[in-house]
């Protein structure tokens, strides 16, 4: 506390090196003044002491603005320091103060002039405002002779009224609005401006500087429009106008009432109360004022009043406001000391007994979090309870209770120093640097001196205490006691600091002509460490300052409003606060990341969204992208759908750098939406940011003409742009852009792994999770997409002579017409000849976004796609019954194939339909041997039940689409130095997303793992009980996914049960109610597809219809054409 014993800034005036030699008398415009002349280190310094600048503030002038002293007749004798203003001294302090005379008649100043007084050779002027918490201190403590003599500047020190005499406040509706001490300072500045020329000073080069309450004072004076022109520069040492104060006057007016009550001056009318106080003798008035003053984090002045008002902060944000105009006229230096928290020792002395601790030994975490933070919160942020835990977590995260008492104490010191000194100073510098073109400089004083002004120093304090820099500014020899000798290095540092202070006063630049070590603060937050030796740095206490500058004010605001606003580079975004499982999450919904893809942007790459001016309302979800829905839900889909949703733990802390997980939904590239997956529980569970995105689907996302006019893959481009948006803006939501993980399921798993091989994604994310989807999954989208696109053009009557005309025609169509046209092609009437395991439209190898077939690229370590793939960590896996989709694939053909799909899938369907379809559509060759081999591999060796036959058919479907492609991608990735992990989800849940399940299906259906990743309560209907075993499995899976996002290792930041995948061992984790490690998943079947099938294909190669018959020809992949119907919630 600035008013405490430790804050009273006193000095030892040992004048052994200052020798008075003679007197001097000069004529000024207000009268003749007699001073004294002293020799200071062989430099003559003229001292004019005790010059009155205001009438004595006595009688009717008590609690009034000061009145100018005016002229005098005769010669004013200014040869000795005058008295100090009314204040209280502790007995131990008296030995440090050379002048113990106190009186209300104290408004005087002192002028120190080096060399000859020459009105033709003006010198720069430095006006010192002392500290002392606005309750103590005096100009007599600071002999300006050394500073003046060293650098040829004029130094002025001033008194101003303190405590009740200078800062009594009775309310804005009274005639006693306080700030009398500030008015005193202002009148002193005016006196200097008007008269300093007569002392050889330049009235146009005046710097005001001060420490502690003096630092608060000079920065406060720097935003008062009435000061415009009075001074040109400001140096603030350990004090800022933005320090915690009584903004609205509530505390200060209450202090006045309590003082009056103690003095029996309480009256019904405040005017009468003050009239009574004016009759009280000065010592009694002061004693009772201090008796009434609260202790912790209270200041004795308020922003409410005639000179100031609390709207000054808001006015500083307005470009042409008077306060900002004033600030824009000034150069600024501001800084703090490393050990500012030394003041906390004095503030906590009185709390040792009730809080049961010994402050001399240290400050335990419980004292910080249970007492200090709530007390400060109540004073500064009016008791926003949400802040207590957030601030505690932020400051003790690196000093847990298991840490040493010294480390716990350091957390308390950091908080105290930040809230009282460091942050207010940083905030002032930030405003000045951002809003003006004048010079801005920051320093930190880091040298612990041989001798310090505040002698009572706890052993736990690190760095120089509050006020320790003063001796280095005003001259060590004038401050250090006779029995303490400064080191030669300290003398050098003192001279450096004196030179920098006076260089700044003369030119606005603290550097001399030969060096530029001290760089301007600017947007890089440069600062200078005043230590032995000097050092420059960037972003002093950067993370802590960002936390206090951006996070804490928003949390305090949210206490009054259940919405949350963040500021991004594009504009402000308002989210909504939601309570989930008794915890708060902030959801930012429907954030646009791209310009709406309508009109000319239909069938074109997405364009980044442009900045906005108003605060964007992101409290409701947006529409899904165009897809098949019931007629009554048609309003829920739109082409204007390129939005994302962000789930961030409350509060949103910019300084937290949380891992980021971007979810890409599934749905066969034809359906699905980001909003269907609630990221709240996953976010809260792992303290991560979860993002869900929309991207264009079906014809709108994957239409392709196979040329640059419409290459296709628009949905993939959308995903990429969303990822870029997150990379560039997620810091505003508390996320770390260098710790982004993509994860998705089904088409989303295909998407995340596709994005993982796209060369233009380099650096955008660090990790990829693919659930039941792989970049190598086998679906011939290339041919089918082109065929479907051509059929759409024909059916909609857009066949034209040029691509431009065709696109113009298509872009003119109503979105619902286009969707319906695609549906008619995709859902054509089934026939035996038309049976297919492929879908009608999807991602293709376009030669641009995807330069070549992923299968081809991943075989070549030199390819850009391989390099990108092996630059990220990879976690992929499948479900035991992903093949449950076969049920929907065969259902439309049940009558044609003469089967009851619900009862089972006989082996003849494998041999007569599925195997030929694979050979015909995927390998594009005439190869009966391949069909026969597939038939044999997936047929029972002996007569078997329909259940066994069905399971083998399901194996073929799952192996071909999911398991083998996933394992092949693992084999490619495992050759890199990045992490590679495989899982198998085996547990059949009590409730599944895909509810239509045939009785012959064994294991976990497609998409069944999703609730276990996002939290069972986010998916399970209220009527379905969640067992403890399932809850445990979900907890472990969420933890695995989160650990992988945070560390690149699902075990956490060390080795664990889940072993990495290697080509040799092929280890995988079996996610069941009893989690186990296994190896070589489906080895025989995998070997069949990776060894036997390629051999057969090579033998059939001469008879191929298409010579480009690699194992995976130009194909990127996914699932079943009917997935759009059943996975709309995936």
Both tokens of 161, joined, read: 């009224």
Asked if residue 593 is part of any domain, the answer here is: yes
Number of other CB atoms surrounding residue 900 within 10 Å: 12
What's the average model confidence in pLDDT over 1073-1083?
97
H helical segments located in 241-311: 250-262, 270-277, 282-292
What's the average model confidence in pLDDT over 121-126?
94
Tell me the pLDDT band of 294, cut-offs 50, 70 and 90: low
What's the average model confidence in pLDDT over 216-222?
96
pLDDT of residue 1108: 33
Both tokens of 14, joined, read: 């040992």
Which residue in this structure is represented by tokens 């709406």?
A: 596
As a whole number of angstroms, the distance between CA 931 and CA 934 comes to 5
Angle (CA) 298-300-304 rounded to 5° is 100
Are residues 503 and 608 located together in one domain of the fold? Answer: no
Q: Pick the closest to residue 562 from 576, 581, 582, 550 (CA basis).
A: 576
Which stretch of DSSP H or E encloses residue 748?
A: helix 747-755
As a whole number of angstroms, the distance between CA 660 and CA 540 comes to 26
- Name all contacts of 351-357 with Cβ < 8 Å and 24+ positions apart: 351/296
pLDDT of residue 509: 97
Provide the β-strand partners of residue 664.
Answer: 693, 744
* DSSP state for residue 246 in the 8-state scheme: B
Query: HEC string of 664-724?
Result: ECCCCCCCCCHHHCCCHHHHHHHCCEEEEECCCCHHHHHCCCCCCCCCCCHHHHHHHHHHH
pLDDT of residue 383: 65
Asked if residue 135 is part of any domain, the answer here is: yes
What's the average model confidence in pLDDT over 265-274?
92
pLDDT of residue 1114: 35
Number of other CB atoms surrounding residue 481 within 10 Å: 9
As a whole number of angstroms, the distance between CA 505 and CA 502 comes to 5
pLDDT tops 60 at residue 1103: no
Asked if residue 1101 is part of any domain, the answer here is: no
3-state class of 228 per DSSP?
Answer: coil
CATH of residue 198's domain is: 3.40.50.1820
pLDDT of residue 92: 45
Range of the domain at 995: 561-880+956-1082+1111-1130
Tell me the pLDDT band of 729, cut-offs 50, 70 and 90: very high
Of 79-88, 101-110, 759-768, the range with the lowest mean pLDDT is: 79-88
Residue 614 burial class via C-beta count within 10 angstroms: exposed 0-12, middle 13-18, buried 19 and up: exposed
CA within 13 Å, CB half, 52: 19
As a whole number of angstroms, the distance between CA 274 and CA 193 comes to 34
Are residues 321 and 367 located together in one domain of the fold? Answer: no
As a whole number of angstroms, the distance between CA 406 and CA 774 comes to 52
- Count the domains in the chain: 3
Which of these three, 281, 311, 329, is where a domain ends? 329
Are residues 698 and 745 located together in one domain of the fold? Answer: yes
pLDDT tops 50 at residue 347: yes
Asked if residue 908 is part of any domain, the answer here is: no
Are residues 316 and 177 located together in one domain of the fold? Answer: yes
pLDDT tops 90 at residue 648: yes
How high is the mean pLDDT of the chain?
90
pLDDT of residue 467: 92
As a whole number of angstroms, the distance between CA 976 and CA 979 comes to 8
> Do 721 and 606 meet the contact criterion of CB atoms below 8 Å apart?
yes
Q: What percent of the chain has pLDDT over 70?
A: 92
What's the average model confidence in pLDDT over 740-756?
98
pLDDT tops 80 at residue 244: no
Are residues 530 and 615 located together in one domain of the fold? Answer: no
Tell me the pLDDT band of 17, cut-offs 50, 70 and 90: low
CA 745 to chain centre: 29
As a whole number of angstroms, the distance between CA 639 and CA 445 comes to 59
Tell me the pLDDT band of 923, cut-offs 50, 70 and 90: confident
As a whole number of angstroms, the distance between CA 181 and CA 166 comes to 4
> Residue 114 phi/psi, 5° resolution?
-85, 150
What's the average model confidence in pLDDT over 522-543?
95
Asked if residue 718 is part of any domain, the answer here is: yes
Q: What percent of the chain has pLDDT over 90?
A: 74
Are residues 321 and 343 located together in one domain of the fold? Answer: no
Are residues 647 and 783 located together in one domain of the fold? Answer: yes
> Residue 908 phi/psi, 5° resolution?
-60, -25
Task: Spell out a b/e string for 41-55, using b for 16 or more CB atoms within 10 Å of the CB, else e.
Answer: eeebbbbbbbbbbbe
pLDDT tops 90 at residue 1109: no
pLDDT of residue 830: 79
Asked if residue 1088 is part of any domain, the answer here is: no
Asked if residue 461 is part of any domain, the answer here is: yes
> Do 606 and 595 meet the contact criterion of CB atoms below 8 Å apart?
yes
Are residues 147 and 216 located together in one domain of the fold? Answer: yes
> Do 649 and 684 meet the contact criterion of CB atoms below 8 Å apart?
yes
Which stretch of DSSP H or E encloses residue 936?
A: helix 928-937
**Which regions of 255-359 does DSSP assign to beta strands (E)?**
331-337
If one compares 1054 and 814, the residue with the highest pLDDT of the two is 814
Are residues 630 and 569 located together in one domain of the fold? Answer: yes
> Do 466 and 458 meet the contact criterion of CB atoms below 8 Å apart?
no
Are residues 501 and 650 located together in one domain of the fold? Answer: no
Which residue in this structure is represented by tokens 């298509």?
A: 810
pLDDT of residue 654: 80
Counts for the chain of helices (H) and strands (E), in that order: 42, 26
Tell me the pLDDT band of 649, cut-offs 50, 70 and 90: very high
pLDDT of residue 13: 34
* DSSP state for residue 1103 in the 8-state scheme: G
As a whole number of angstroms, the distance between CA 394 and CA 410 comes to 13
pLDDT of residue 717: 99
Which residue in this structure is represented by tokens 């759908």?
A: 641
3-state class of 181 per DSSP?
Answer: helix
As a whole number of angstroms, the distance between CA 162 and CA 132 comes to 9
pLDDT of residue 1124: 38
Which of these three, 514, 543, 572, is where a domain ends? 543
Task: Spell out a b/e string for 398-407, using b for 16 or more CB atoms within 10 Å of the CB, else e.
Answer: ebeeeeeeeb
Both tokens of 126, joined, read: 């430095």
End-to-end CA distance of the chain: 57
Tell me the pLDDT band of 29, cut-offs 50, 70 and 90: very high
Ramachandran bin of 1070, using left for φ above 0, alpha for ψ from -120 to 50, beta for the remaining angles: beta
What's the average model confidence in pLDDT over 155-176?
92
pLDDT, tens digit (0-9, with 9 covering 90-100), for 832-877: 777 888 778 999 999 999 999 999 999 999 999 999 999 999 999 9
> Do 343 and 416 meet the contact criterion of CB atoms below 8 Å apart?
yes
What's the average model confidence in pLDDT over 808-825?
95
Residues in the chain: 1130
Which of these three, 543, 578, 609, is where a domain ends? 543
Are residues 496 and 579 located together in one domain of the fold? Answer: no
Are residues 446 and 389 located together in one domain of the fold? Answer: yes
pLDDT tops 90 at residue 615: yes
As a whole number of angstroms, the distance between CA 103 and CA 98 comes to 15
Residue 13 burial class via C-beta count within 10 angstroms: exposed 0-12, middle 13-18, buried 19 and up: middle
What's the average model confidence in pLDDT over 464-475?
95
Asked if residue 511 is part of any domain, the answer here is: yes
Task: Spell out a b/e string for 853-881, using b for 16 or more CB atoms within 10 Å of the CB, else e.
Answer: bbbbbbeeeebbbbbbbbbbbbbbbbbbb
pLDDT of residue 1039: 98
């Amino acid at each position: 506390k600035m008013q405490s014993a430790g804050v009273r800034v006193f000095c030892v005036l040992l004048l052994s090196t200052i020798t008075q030699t003679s007197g001097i008398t000069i004529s000024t415009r207000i009268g003749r003044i007699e001073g004294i002349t002293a020799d200071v280190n062989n430099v003559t310094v003229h001292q004019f002491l005790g010059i009155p600048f205001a009438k004595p503030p006595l009688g009717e002038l008590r609690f009034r603005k000061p009145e100018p002293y005016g002229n005098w007749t005769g010669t004013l004798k200014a040869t000795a320091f005058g008295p100090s203003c009314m204040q209280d001294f502790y007995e131990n302090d008296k030995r440090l103060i050379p002048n113990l005379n106190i009186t209300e008649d104290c408004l005087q100043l002192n002028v120190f002039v080096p060399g000859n007084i020459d009105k033709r050779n003006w010198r720069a002027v430095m006006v010192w405002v002392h500290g002392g918490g606005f309750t103590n201190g005096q100009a007599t403590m600071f002999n300006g002779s050394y500073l003046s003599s060293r650098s040829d500047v004029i130094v002025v020190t001033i008194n101003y009224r303190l405590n009740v005499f200078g800062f009594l406040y009775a309310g804005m509706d009274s005639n006693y609005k306080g700030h009398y001490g500030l008015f005193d300072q202002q009148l002193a500045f005016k006196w200097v401006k008007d008269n300093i020329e007569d002392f050889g000073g330049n009235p146009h080069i005046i710097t005001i500087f001060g420490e502690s309450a003096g630092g608060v004072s000079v920065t406060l004076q720097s935003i008062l429009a009435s000061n415009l022109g009075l001074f040109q520069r400001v140096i603030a040492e350990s004090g800022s106008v933005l320090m915690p104060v009584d903004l609205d006057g509530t505390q200060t007016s209450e202090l006045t009432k309590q003082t009056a009550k103690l003095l029996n001056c309480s009256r019904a009318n405040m005017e009468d109360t003050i009239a009574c106080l004016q009759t009280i003798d000065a010592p009694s008035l002061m004693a009772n004022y201090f008796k009434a003053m609260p202790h912790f984090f209270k200041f004795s002045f308020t922003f409410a009043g005639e000179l100031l008002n609390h709207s000054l902060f808001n006015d500083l944000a307005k470009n042409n406001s008077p306060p900002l105009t004033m600030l824009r006229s000034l150069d600024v230096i501001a800084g703090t000391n490393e050990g500012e928290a030394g003041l906390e020792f004095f503030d906590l002395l009185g709390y040792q007994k009730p809080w049961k601790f010994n402050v001399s030994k240290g400050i335990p975490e419980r004292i910080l979090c249970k007492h200090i933070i709530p007390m400060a919160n109540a004073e500064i942020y009016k008791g926003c309870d949400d802040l207590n835990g957030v601030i505690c977590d932020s400051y003790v995260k690196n000093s847990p209770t298991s840490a040493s008492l010294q480390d716990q104490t350091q957390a308390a010191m950091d908080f105290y120093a930040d809230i009282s000194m460091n942050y207010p100073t940083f905030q002032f510098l930030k405003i000045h640097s951002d809003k003006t073109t004048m010079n801005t400089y920051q320093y930190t004083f880091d040298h612990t001196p041989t001798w310090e002004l505040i002698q009572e120093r706890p052993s736990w304090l690190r760095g120089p205490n509050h006020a320790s820099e003063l001796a280095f500014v005003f001259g060590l020899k004038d401050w250090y006691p006779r029995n303490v000798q400064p080191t030669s290095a300290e003398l050098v540092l003192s001279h450096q600091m004196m030179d920098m202070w006076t260089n700044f006063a003369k030119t606005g630049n603290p550097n001399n002509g030969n060096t530029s070590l001290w760089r301007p603060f600017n947007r890089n937050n440069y600062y200078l460490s005043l230590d032995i030796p000097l050092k420059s740095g960037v972003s002093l206490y950067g993370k802590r300052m960002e936390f206090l500058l951006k996070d804490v004010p928003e949390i305090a605001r949210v206490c009054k409003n259940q919405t949350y606003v963040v500021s991004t580079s594009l504009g402000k975004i308002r989210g909504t606060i939601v309570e989930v499982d008794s915890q708060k999450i902030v959801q930012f919904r429907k954030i646009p990341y791209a310009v709406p893809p309508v009109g000319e942007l239909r069938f074109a790459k997405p364009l980044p969204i442009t900045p906005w001016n108003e605060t964007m309302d992101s409290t409701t979800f947006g529409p899904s992208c165009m897809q098949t829905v019931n007629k009554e839900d048609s309003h829920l889909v739109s082409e204007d759908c390129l939005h994302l949703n962000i789930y961030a733990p409350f509060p949103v802390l910019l300084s937290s750098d949380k891992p980021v997980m971007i979810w890409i939904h599934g749905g066969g590239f034809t359906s699905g939406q980001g909003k269907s997956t609630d990221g709240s529980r996953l976010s809260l569970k792992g303290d991560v940011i979860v993002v869900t995105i929309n991207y264009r689907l079906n014809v709108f996302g994957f239409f392709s003409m196979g040329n640059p006019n419409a290459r296709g893959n628009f949905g993939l481009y959308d995903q990429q742009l969303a990822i870029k948006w997150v990379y560039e803006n997620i810091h505003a939501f508390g996320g770390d852009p260098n710790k982004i993980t993509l994860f998705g399921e089904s088409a989303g798993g295909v998407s995340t792994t596709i994005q993982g091989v796209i060369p233009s994604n380099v650096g955008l994310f660090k990790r990829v999770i693919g659930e039941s989807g792989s970049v190598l999954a086998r679906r011939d989208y290339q041919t089918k997409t082109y065929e479907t696109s051509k059929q759409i053009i024909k059916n909609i009557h857009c066949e034209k002579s040029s691509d431009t005309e065709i696109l113009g025609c298509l872009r003119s169509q109503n979105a619902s017409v286009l969707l319906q046209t695609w549906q008619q092609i995709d859902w054509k009437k089934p026939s035996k000849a038309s049976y297919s395991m492929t879908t009608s439209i999807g991602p293709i190898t376009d030669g641009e976004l995807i330069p070549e077939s992923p299968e081809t690229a991943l075989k070549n370590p030199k390819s850009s796609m391989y390099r990108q793939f092996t630059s990220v960590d990879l976690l992929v896996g499948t479900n035991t019954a992903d093949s449950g989709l076969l049920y929907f694939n065969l259902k439309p053909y049940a009558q044609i194939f003469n089967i009851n799909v619900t009862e089972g899938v006989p082996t003849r369907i494998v041999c007569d339909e599925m195997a030929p379809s694979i050979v015909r559509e995927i390998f594009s060759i005439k190869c009966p041997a391949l069909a026969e081999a597939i038939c044999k591999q997936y047929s029972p060796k002996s007569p078997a039940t329909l259940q066994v036959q069905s399971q083998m058919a399901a194996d073929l479907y799952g192996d071909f689409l999911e398991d083998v492609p996933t394992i092949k991608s693992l084999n490619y990735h495992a050759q890199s130095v990045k992490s590679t992990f495989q899982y198998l989800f085996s547990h059949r849940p009590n409730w599944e997303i895909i509810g239509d399940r045939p009785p012959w299906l064994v294991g976990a259906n497609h998409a069944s793992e999703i609730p276990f990743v996002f939290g069972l309560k986010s998916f399970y209907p209220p009527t379905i009980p969640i067992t403890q075993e399932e809850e445990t499995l979900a907890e472990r899976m969420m933890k695995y996914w989160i650990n992988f996002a945070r560390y690149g290792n699902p075990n956490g930041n060390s080795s664990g049960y889940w072993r990495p995948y290697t080509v040799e061992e092929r280890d995988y984790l079996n996610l069941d109610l009893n989690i186990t490690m296994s190896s070589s998943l489906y080895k025989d079947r995998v070997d069949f597809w990776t060894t036997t099938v390629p051999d057969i294909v090579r033998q059939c190669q001469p008879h191929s219809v298409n010579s480009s018959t690699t194992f995976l020809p130009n194909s990127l992949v996914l699932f079943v054409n009917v997935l759009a119907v059943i996975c709309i919630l995936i």
